[in-house]
Structure 1
Amino acid sequence: MMEVQNVRTALDRHWAASAAGDQVAEHEIYHDDAVCEYPQSGEIIHGRHNLQALRSHHPGKPSGFVVRRIVGQGNLWVTEYAITYESKPVYTVSIMEFRDGKVLHETQYFADAFAAPAWRAQWVERKIGL
């Protein structure tokens, strides 16, 4: 139980730092030799230093960041969140694998919002915004 609480606390600190733009605190969660994958672009980032440098040089500062939910146990944790860039939400899923309390491997998926088709309106509830 203590390990779960420690990981959850580390994740909460990580996402709060990410939302605040605190690049140092955001990357404390990673092992020095962590690997982060972006499957949609085919990119693999090797090492905490490279990951922090890449994120520090992003040309657009997010104007919003909302964690939707965090679930996990043991060494595998998933966070769903939305980042707003230039008034456009990007829905993101982060899958983190931990070793010794730090992230060894992360995979992130990014998806743009899209208009709901009218044909399924009778079966769905509409949620507006992030």
Structure 2
Amino acid sequence: MLLGFEHVGTTTIDLDRAIAFYCGLLGLTVALRKHYDRGEVAFLDTGSGMLEVACPIADVARSRDVPPHEAGLRHLTFAFDSLDPIVARLEAAGFPMIEGPRAAYYNEVLKRLAFTRDPDGILVELVERADGR
């Protein structure tokens, strides 16, 4: 029996910088931070699933977008009760919105959305859920 969504994994160039973005700006909390033989990893909790962020001992290139004709993860999405305060906080910290805030196309599940990038270039979607979700 499925219990729920557990986590998605990403890679970062700088774990402290990633934690500052996801925890300091978006509000996730550090559930675990641990060194291992190939680097360091942190599990950042949203309250309904986690983001695993690995920081290997290696040269890590900035993230690239997955082309439309290629399978892969397109973005990370985080839900907020209101977009305006989080958008203002991110923009004040130097993370401009790439798109939005605007009304969502899939208004059956989402009300409003905006897109920015994390410090490693990963596309991050910020949403307000549709009423009743």
TM (norm. structure 2) is 0.26
TM (norm. structure 1) is 0.26
